[in-house]
Amino acid sequence: MLEKYDIVIVGAGPVGLMLSACLSRLGSYKIKHIDNRAEPTAIGRADGIQARTLDVLQSMGLKRPIWAFNPGLIYEVAFWGATPDGNGIQCTGTSKSYPDHIDTRYPFTTILHQGRIEGIFLEDLRSRGVEVQRPWTIKAYRYHGQDPEYPVDIDLERLDSFETETVRTKYLFGADGARSAVRELLKIPMIYKDPTVHFSIVFNLQRAGVELASLPETFVPYRYHVYSDESRGRKSHTGGQGMAHAKMGFDSREGGVVVVRPDGYVRCIVKLIEGRKVAKALDRYFSGFVPSILINEPIQSML
């Protein structure tokens, strides 16, 4: 006798976890949730929660655990471009994260590592009796129609032991990303347009230990665009206390962004096609701000 579930969810990124979290609140649904990764997200991918998303998470009771990590809050972003002589950089403009006409309780971007966000969802699901099974993947599905209430059979496989399991379900939901195994099994093509520009996201290998006092003089007039973990919001620090949290980018023509995260790590995003000039500028003007390891051999070779 096959085990029956209301839904089988494949993929435990933000989309899959959000679906499980919503269903676990809406009724006593029996959920089978799998992911092919052995562990939740450890590095990279995303750091920001937009205001409308935070509105929804607050209504689900998940804002408090997010705030327990004292996330960075970005109210404004400063953009930077090269000076006319090419020997320096200048602020080309600033922009509010959310203009006044957008009605939201949280007019800022909340910065928290995706792994932390996933961890909050996972803990919430455990408290509601849902556990993500790892590392499992889907191998096949069959729409048999023999059981009108549970018309789909799903073949699953555990990747670290090749253990197999077949379950019966009402719904199959694919939340397994761009290379979705579910979409491939269903023979649904992914229609997309190649971007005309490509970006590389590169992490440094150590904590930067960045303090506001170490900001290059160029940025001094724009300290209001630097955010401290201690402030939970926009705040100008003159004493250089606390870790800096900033989002500063070059303009779209040059294409490059630096993000200093609450844990002290720095993310560098550089446009691959036109980014060599940006990489050199970052190396020159952020040399006193972030470790030179950011602009390292792999980045230069990619450029």
Cα–Cα distance measured from residue 192 to residue 178, given in angstroms and rounded to the nearest whole number: 10
Q: What is the mean pLDDT of each run of 10 residues along the chain (303 residues)?
A: 96 97 97 96 79 95 94 75 65 78 89 90 98 98 90 97 96 94 93 57 38 46 40 30 34 49 52 50 50 36 33
DSSP 273: T
- Structure confidence at residue 118 (pLDDT): 94
- Structure confidence at residue 21 (pLDDT): 98
End-to-end distance of the chain based on CA atoms, in angstroms?
57
Q: Which residue has the tokens 């973990």?
A: 229
Report domain extents, the chain.
3-47+113-186, 201-294
Give the residue among 81, 105, 98, 293 at the shortest CA–CA distance from 208.
293
- Provide long-range contacts, Cβ within 8 A and 24+ apart, for 97-100: 97/51, 98/51
List b or e across 253-267, with b for residues whose CB sees 16 or more CB atoms inside 10 angstroms: ebbbbbbbbbebbbb
The pair of structure tokens assigned to 76 is 């404004």
Q: Which class is 3-47+113-186 in CATH? A: alpha beta
Cβ atoms of 199 and 270 within 8 Å: the answer is: yes
- Structure confidence at residue 82 (pLDDT): 61
Report the DSSP pairing between strands 48-49 and 76-82: unpaired
- Structure confidence at residue 191 (pLDDT): 79
Report the DSSP pairing between strands 152-158 and 136-143: antiparallel
- Structure confidence at residue 212 (pLDDT): 39
Cα–Cα distance measured from residue 225 to residue 244, given in angstroms and rounded to the nearest whole number: 10
Q: Which residue has the tokens 């606390």?
A: 242
pTM of the model: 0.70
Cα–Cα distance measured from residue 210 to residue 147, given in angstroms and rounded to the nearest whole number: 60
User: Please, which residues bridge with residue 109 across strands?
Assistant: 74
- Structure confidence at residue 268 (pLDDT): 54
Peptide bond into 189 cis (omega under 30): no
User: DSSP for 283-303?
Assistant: HHHSTTTS-GGGS-HHHHHH-
Cα–Cα distance measured from residue 247 to residue 7, given in angstroms and rounded to the nearest whole number: 40
The pair of structure tokens assigned to 140 is 């096949």
- Structure confidence at residue 97 (pLDDT): 84
